[in-house]
Structure 1
Amino acid sequence: MAKPNIAPQSKGLDGRIYCDYSRLVRLQSQVGTFSLLPHLKAGSVLSGRHNSLFRGRGLNFEELRHYQLGDDIRNLDWKVTLRTGKPHVRSYTEEKDRNVIICVDQRSQMFFSSTQVMKSVIAAEIAAMCGWRVLKDGDRVGVVVASAEKIYHCKSQRSQHAFMAQLKLLAKANQQLSVDTTNSERVSFSLWLEQLKRMNLAQSTLVFITDWRDCDEHHLEQLKQLQIHNDVLAVLVNDPLEQTLPGELTKSNWVVGDGQYQLTLDSKEKVAQASATLSERSVLTRQSLTRLMALKQLPFIELDTSGSHIAQFQRLVGRQ
């Protein structure tokens, strides 16, 4: 007798600060409101279940074999045919599913919000929604979680059970964050990209959900290389206070730092200087990611911490 499908119980966490595993599972109900795979117009010769700005199904090379009567001569491999003196054809099989890798940031800098919801919670919830949508489309999904301690890679599978296990890992990484959390040297953006390069990805879709704070120009060049044989979708999670500082901070004597240097904001000049630096970096990040997305005519997605990130994501990716 099959066991009943019992919904996971909530831990009663404050959903603005930490993501609950049960909440990530319940987000499955939201996937009907958007699509990463809009359908082709009716009547197209290529129309089918998958069509979008992202890579979909195609043909995979299976084997090289001798020509047989009835084979399509367009599949003749002329180099092998000339070398052996016997006609050979390249045999292909239809690609059965698409491979989607969701790269979600749960490092210490994501444990921040000046408004409603922590950036880390937003990243986790959007990752869950993307994964459920991919499974609904019948494709494979894997998750690469950059936590404060290490980078976790979960193999892509077309399995709800496997994805729920990945969501448990994601929720655990999220709930381990605190104001005292510091990042290990093993979780830099460079090592995150190295992990992906070791996976030898091709014809895959990679969804990066992060604040892009430690993504430098040479990292963007590496992402451009990934973009050649894959589709890289950038999701920027941003907080208003990371873009500009209010002038009244001079009354609070805030101390800000980058992990190495600190600055006490005890004058209007210092606040203005810090605010200008934040604004400049924010603009440069947007411009760089916009250019990266333009390579494949993909949407640039920016979400804020106001608590409306799900509606924002649905609108920017595209409703069904």
Structure 2
Amino acid sequence: MSSLLTRVKSKMSIFAHRKARGMLDGEYGSVFKGRSLDFDDLRAYIPGDEVRDIDWKASARHGSPLIKRYVAVRRQTVLLVTDTGRNMAASALGGEEKKDIAVMALGVVGYLAHRHGDVVGLVCGDGTSTRSLPAKAGEAHLERLLREVNDATALTSPRSDISEQLSYVARNFGQRMLLFVVADEVVPDAGMERLLRRLRAQHEVLWLTVRDAQLAGPDSAVPNSTGTQAAAAGPADRYDVADAGFLPGRLAASEAIIRAYAAAQEQRDAAREAVLRRMGIAHVHAGSSHDVMPAVFTLLERHRRGK
């Protein structure tokens, strides 16, 4: 059985060739407001660094800007919160299973936390039950968390409802921590908005939405109701895992259906974004595992800047 964490670390290594690792670590280190820090060393200034962190005397001696780097004095807690209902076993926009993207995103944030000496826990489940694994340190523990999410998510799982997991967190966790929520294209209702307001008052909250496959539009990597690709003779039939809805391929390819579907999706996206913005929760999308690293980087940067 291949290691899920090894896949995550490989993806992070590839990304580090394009973005300086220090920038990603720096964005993560800025998540906890007011965290206790001790001076560690100096490093070269990178565009996007805070000007207030420049050591002007050392920079003058060195001849180029140097940034003060700090280490956390006290350990923080990162709680990964995700949906393992049947929605997350469906196809994502890029053709992968949505759970593969969720595991990658959870792994990236979990591994960043591990590198910073923080402990990582997990809350996951579906619309009928929620379970949690306590926050601990170490790569073996993080692998266990990722394996739990991967193995629990299947098309035979109960329906998805991330509000159940958020409610569980609100009831059972009093310590201030970072909540990293990964879910599909849920649209928060009034009840979830109240729940998010309660959580945001106590915790730092980051949110990543995994993009659904397009049910209407040209054939892509979307499976039909049997889980296989459609024959080349005609458009693929589409199957909505969430409510067992079935859309014949000839209708999915209809211009009227495509326009209506796009309009409805735009409304859902706008509604989700509006709620999260009101709550002050940084939010990004990812449609494939290749999107995860830049999405996480953007998410941490938005959170730091309060956008």
> Does 2:130 match 1:151?
yes
Judged with a 3 Å threshold, the aligned counterparts in structure 2 of structure 1 residues 28 and 114 are, in CA distance, closer, same or farther, namely: closer
Paired amino acid for 1:188: D
- For 1:75, the equivalent position in structure 2 comes to none
> Does 2:8 match 1:27?
yes
Paired amino acid for 2:266: S
> Does 2:224 match 1:246?
no
> Is contact 1:247-1:272 (8 Å) kept?
no
User: What is the CA–CA distance in structure 1 between the aligned matches of 2:261 and 2:125, rounded to whole Å?
Assistant: 28
Paired amino acid for 1:23: L
Deviations 1:299-318, CA, capped at 9 Å, x for gaps:
4222122x422332354145
- Where do residues 54-73 of structure 1 align in structure 2 (5 Å cutoff)? 54-55=32-33, 57=35
TM-fit CA distance, 1:236: 1.3
User: What is the CA–CA distance in structure 2 between the aligned matches of 1:220 and 1:212, rounded to whole Å?
Assistant: 15
Higher helix share: 2
> Is contact 1:201-1:230 (8 Å) kept?
no
TM-fit CA distance, 1:138: 0.7
- For 1:316, the equivalent position in structure 2 comes to 298
SS class of match (1:102): strand
Q: Structure 2 stretches of 5 or more lacking a match?
A: 38-71, 221-233, 302-307
- Where do residues 124-203 of structure 1 align in structure 2 (5 Å cutoff)? 124-146=103-125, 150-174=129-153, 177-178=154-155, 181-184=156-159, 188-203=161-176
> Is contact 2:82-2:165 (8 Å) kept?
no
- For 1:109, the equivalent position in structure 2 comes to 87
SS class of match (2:166): helix
TM-fit CA distance, 1:161: 3.2
RMSD across aligned positions (CA): 3.5
Judged with a 3 Å threshold, the aligned counterparts in structure 2 of structure 1 residues 299 and 34 are, in CA distance, closer, same or farther, namely: farther
> Does 2:237 match 1:259?
no
SS class of match (2:134): coil
Deviations 1:32-85, CA, capped at 9 Å, x for gaps:
73767627xxxxxxxxxx9514345359xxxxxxxxxxxxxxxxxxxxxxxxxx
User: What is the CA–CA distance in structure 2 between the aligned matches of 1:128 and 1:103, rounded to whole Å?
Assistant: 12
> Does 2:273 match 1:286?
yes
SS class of match (2:35): coil
Larger Rg: 1
User: What is the CA–CA distance in structure 2 between the aligned matches of 1:220 and 1:311, rounded to whole Å?
Assistant: 28
TM-score if structure 1 supplies the norm length? Answer: 0.63
- Pick one of 56, 77, 102 that aligns with 1:99: 77
TM-fit CA distance, 1:108: 1.2
How many pairs does the alignment contain? 242
Q: Structure 1 stretches of 5 or more lacking a match?
A: 1-8, 11-21, 40-49, 60-93
SS class of match (1:308): helix
- For 2:177, the equivalent position in structure 1 comes to 204
Q: Taking every aligned residue pair, what percent have the same amino acid on both sides? A: 18
- For 1:303, the equivalent position in structure 2 comes to 286
- For 2:262, the equivalent position in structure 1 comes to 275
